[in-house]
Amino acid sequence: MRLGLALGYWGRGPDPGHLALAQEAERLGYDSVWTAEAWGSDAFTPLTWIAAHTSRIRLGTGIAQMAARTPTATAMHALTLDHLSGGRLLLGLGLSGPQVVEGWYGRPFPRSPLTATREYVEVIRQVLARQAPVEVAGSFHSHPYTGPDATGLGKPLKPITHPLRSSLPVLLGAEGPKNIAQTVRIADGWLPLYWSPHRTDVYEASLTGLREGFMIAPMARAHVCDDVAEGLLPVKAMLGFYIGGMGHAARNFHADLMARMGFGEEARRIQELFLQGRKEEAVHAVPDVFADEISLIGPRARIAEKLAEWRKGPVTDLLVTAPDPHTLRVLAELSN
């Protein structure tokens, strides 16, 4: 099980410690470093900055939002950064949800998310293969565009720049069972939002037929500390925000996933509190057992035991959000 460092997206501004953490992760032998985007900083620019200050560690978008760019624009970002980094890019993509797609990007959330995702990946594959001009007659992504307002002057094109790797890995963030099953069929890896080594049965049916080399790379907060309850608070705060605030009360993919993992009543309570403006109560309503299962928090010996549980399952890459170099070093030592 390889280790990766997940830096996430910026808050009010850039984190001055992110570059040093990425460089320390590379020095410690971490395989990858990942950036993200929500509705503030983008995923590709910080990753390019990190690429310029490292030499070996692989560079992942975890995740780049599909609604933010056309698939050809995403493919241009990917092939450009792959060239500049010497072939280190891992392209992680996610559809996001209606609240972000329609509220931030001003686009309709696709009525068929599976079809939209499949077409998006197909366009990227054609760009990177560069075997012929891109031609996709899709419901959501058509190349050339032939909609009712088209000029009729569009023609199929292939990238001017030759991609460094036609086999650049594409990973998908997927939560629903059908979306995960499609990810296994069309992508090179899966980026689970929550992973519990004690509840792998939740995903078992969707993960049939895994190909050799397929990446399963969940993110988990890690922190070496003496007080487990205190260490879990940032995990619970994250869960409170995602379960309560990242989506509409009637349609929240994160809450649905928590329910499938056995915490349906708790997920509904978190949503209720968050939407009522009682955010602190929502955080405290997150069950400690759930927050603990999806993270690595506590003294060194406790984290060693938890890592052993993670290694028993199909996870190939553990992407840790670690707040300090000491935690990075401990995890590296325990993984050797």
pLDDT tens digit string along 67-115? 999 999 999 999 999 999 999 999 999 999 888 999 999 999 999 999 9
pLDDT attached to residue 251? 64
Instruction: Note if the pTM is more than 0.85.
Output: yes
Within the chain, what is the greatest distance between any pair of CA atoms? 66
pLDDT of 176 reads 86
- Average pLDDT in the 230-234 region? 95
Domains of the chain: 1-220+299-332 (3.20.20.30)
The answer on pLDDT for 44 being more than 60 is: yes
**Burial status of residue 172 (CB atoms within 10 A of its CB: 0-12, 13-18, 19 or more):** buried
Whole-number average pLDDT of the chain: 94
Stretch 178-197: mean pLDDT, rounded? 95
Segment 123-151 mean pLDDT? 97
Question: What is the structure's pLDDT at 224?
Answer: 97
Least confident segment among 177-191, 199-213, 261-275, 295-309: 261-275
Which DSSP letter does residue 275 get?
Answer: H
pLDDT tens sequence across 269-327: 898 888 888 888 889 899 999 999 999 999 999 999 999 999 999 999 999 999 899 99
Measured CA to CA in angstroms, residue 142 lies from 128, 133, 273, 278 at distances of: 17, 13, 42, 44
Strand (E) or helix (H) holding 319: strand 317-321
CB atoms within 10 A of CB 75: 24
